[in-house]
Structure 1
């Protein structure tokens, strides 16, 4: 599926975007208070932790590498991305993991168990959650309604209706019980906390606090939109966006209709008076607001739209690729997706030259030198950067899992 905004870094994946993929797991229905949310929401396994699922095991999931070698035949109900050396799997409604060599370990003693990083994870039993290590050993009692958003040695926990954070090393809560927090990870040693607006039962202001307890941004803003990779904070007030510095000072005034959300290659996409351009971290305009739309900068170029056509500019607003395309995405591995006049998709290089012709119904960005593509028959395969198929167009589903691995889905015994 195409989206206009590319998830440019792993940090953007922490923006709570939920991309789901079908799983079939026989499991007990959880109440809404026990639904599990965490930052690695691109995994189909997470879907099984969120929603009731069909009881018929229609699909099976296997793992294949980018050379087309099947590492594991389709025998799992679900499989996740690889987090380090391991991916989460479910088989016969039992949760566990698989390593890079295809070896599996399962934990029937838990209703659910999941590791969103290599070392630490969470388990569910009788409606409560606990922190576990890779061996599945308990590190805390089953006292939490939710454990989520693992990052920088911390995880968010929810107990008795309030969110806090736990130090994964010593398993101690790091903030006072008087505080409550927005769903999200600790990032750059900071977290977003919330405070009820005066007289408003369900409306909150938001602020930023460091893990040492120092309040950096008082809870006076409608929304702390994003903890940015450069240590600054994207905020919203009265439907206008701006940027605060590391100490809470205003760097970019709150005058923009849209911003970012992330600064890439020193530039922040911004919308002013219904036109798009770029500013830097100081709020200085680097590319004037003259475009219908701009994408994120990647590999020195950004896609832009003008008069319903798309091309690419550099950081100095020089046109590098003329606006001759109806659709483009950002550059990855030196190639960018484009849409041809035949309404099919291919890839161009930085000169705008067609490298892989538009013969595919869907194409996805290159990752680690490989891209998933779909033909007009609905089958998926994988290309290398030269356009050669390394995984044939035989699969009803392929999802990149990291570590040069794809998981594929089998339907009723077929690929």
Structure 2
């Protein structure tokens, strides 16, 4: 593990790369993982396929926004703590700013052209996820055992559904890997360069637990609206498993049932959040900009946004120092092979639902999605260019 200072140029490099993704990464958390793989594994080669699959498997296990946690870890590996902060900020800001402007009265996309763009972006998610499944399956499921684990993960996610299905799929895959993949002796488990000390990990874990227990107690004993909002959004971010969309019922229970925003405002913001790139958790910025207790506006948006992301990042930092030690366990290689194959299965299930079922409504959408897939896999176009092309295609098939 290296603790040498990272050059400022790397931090800027991370910020620019994630800002571009924050402006173009449509389709939800699973699609984001596809964008990340295309950009950082295939194009920039910042980390290997195996290292990326390890990060995805780890972040799927933890509560919080999995795609943002993966991005945070990539920034950390590339440029240290400031790189992690730069990556998170750049990936989060575009959608947060758009949703805050929408909350404050900015016009939403309307009319046939706007609807066509949204439709094209949904089709883009199909192409991105299909490309990720295809590429990861070739690398991570090269034999019948791991292909079978991936298929079992598809069945688990599709048949169980619910927020715990992805965790169950990875757990089953890990156990199956320990039983079925121990005969594979290839050394494909490279150490991850994680510049996080054990002390920093312990402090992050302590902060996570202290805030999770302390904020509700403080909110109960004091009449502070600021503390109440901090508690509500921190708990929502700390207790959600399975991706950004799962946080919606938790937020509804906090902000609607408490009377901070109306049901109509909540549902309108949820609809707008589907049409912007970046993490679904930025929906919190929209709610914070509207909420009555703090008077709404920019302060409420920033507070809500910071508190909903904070627990997932603290928990990730708490776990990372122990990751490479865990991997030295004699059965860790087999376990991670199985978990990585399960990640491929989870992506495959997401390719069907919600990506395919939500976007492919007829032959025109199918042709558009296939075009995007070929642009990514054969012509090697960057993801942002495919977003632009398929958004234009969405306009053509809508008007």
Give the TM-score normalised by the residue count of structure 1: 0.22
The structure showing larger relative contact order (alpha-carbon pairs under 8 Å, at least 6 residues apart) is 2
More strand by share: 1
Q: By percentage of residues, which structure has more helix?
A: 2
**Largest Rg, 1 or 2:** 1
> TM-score, normalized by length of structure 2?
0.22
